[in-house]
Amino acid sequence: MIRSALMNVMKAAAVKAGRGLKRDFGEVENLQVSVKGPGDFVTLADRRAENVLFEELSKARPGYGFVLEEGGIVEGADKTHTWYIDPLDGTTNFLHGLPLFAISIGLAREGQIVAGLVYNPANDDLFIAEKGQGAYYNNRRLRVAARRDMADALIGCGIPHIGKLKDHPRFMAECAAVMKRAGNLRRLGAAALDLCFVASASYDGFWERNLKPWDIAAGIIIIKEAGGFVTDADGGPDMLAKGSVCAGNDAIHRQLLELVRSAA
């Protein structure tokens, strides 16, 4: 387990914000919901959790900048460090009573992600990683799956919702290409957790486009520290800027990337 001062700060902030999410999840039918766009909802729980994370991390690491899902970019005096915060990844699952949602916290130092945490308050699942320190699920060291044959692989994906109609044709083409080769596909609705499931070998691979930096910052380093490979969905290194990911062990990542790119 990682017991650095940095990880202690991240865990404390996530657990504190998670208490409110757990409470609100139990009363989800009473939450007020505002609509950002078709199929894309923001709850009061989301905003409250982000406020807690911002306050706790600002107090523990004054001067660090933020990239927040709801609050946008907050410039810090320390230009070398930036937090990437998603207070509630899997909002639609949360609103429908599905216990697959998470807080995601990633920290970049001079543009490189150096620490990540993904926490599901519904079941207290905690995934963490710090550069050079490995990745862990609760107290267990993580390693990506060893499968190398795509026909045996379970592949996760993200399906564009109704508000992203223009992305449907491309996804359908990519999905068809992967379905012809992969053992099976899954779509769970929370990219931060999807990436952690690759790191923990529950998935053999995962790809998704049109993501935000806060969706994937933490998951990227968790996969890397678990021995996995992750690029953008076109094979490039800048996932945060491109807003897409393709991940797996070396063999599955390579095969999945070829399939996704061939469908373009």
User: Model confidence at 33, in pLDDT bands (50, 70, 90)?
Assistant: confident
**Range(s) within the chain of domains with CATH label 3.40.190.80:** 150-262
Continuous segment of H or E residues that includes residue 6: helix 5-26
**Integer Cα distance of 228 and 197 in angstroms:** 11
pLDDT over threshold 90, residue 40: no
Q: Above pLDDT 90, what percent of the chain? A: 89
Q: pLDDT category, 41, cuts 50, 70, 90?
A: low
Instruction: Tell me the average pLDDT across 166-181.
Output: 96
CATH topology of domain 5-141: Fructose-1,6-Bisphosphatase; Chain A, domain 1 (3.30.540)
88 is in an annotated binding site: yes
Consult the annotation and say whether 215 binds a ligand.
yes
User: Is the pLDDT reported for residue 264 higher than 90?
Assistant: no
Instruction: Check whether 40 is labelled as a binding-site residue.
Output: no
- Amino acid in the structure at residue 31: L
HSE-CB for 15 with a 13 A CA cutoff: 9
Mean pLDDT of 203-231: 98
Is the pLDDT at 106 greater than 70? The verdict is yes
Decide: pTM greater than 0.75: yes
CA-based nearest residue to 6, from 98, 81, 87: 81
- Tell me the two tokens of residue 213: 């930096």
Distance from the Cα of residue 230 to its chain's centroid:
13
Euclidean distance between CA atoms 90 and 37, whole angstroms: 15
Provide the pLDDT for residue 44. 87
- The answer on whether 194 is annotated among ligand-binding residues is no
Cite the residue boundaries of each domain of the chain with CATH code 3.30.540.10.
5-141
| Cα 2 from Cα 167, distance rounded (Å) | 39
Q: Per-residue confidence at 39, pLDDT binned at 50, 70, 90?
A: low
| Contact by Cβ (8 Å): 214, 68 | yes
Split at pLDDT 50, 70, 90, the class of 26 is confident
pLDDT digits (tens, 9 = 90+) for 187-212: 999 999 999 999 999 999 999 999 99
192 CB neighbour count, 10 Å cutoff: 30
Q: Which residues contact 232 (CB under 8 A, 6 or more apart)?
A: 238, 239, 242, 243, 244, 245, 246
Q: Is 134 left (phi over 0), alpha (psi -120 to 50) or beta?
A: left
The domain defined by 150-262 folds into D-Maltodextrin-Binding Protein; domain 2 (3.40.190)
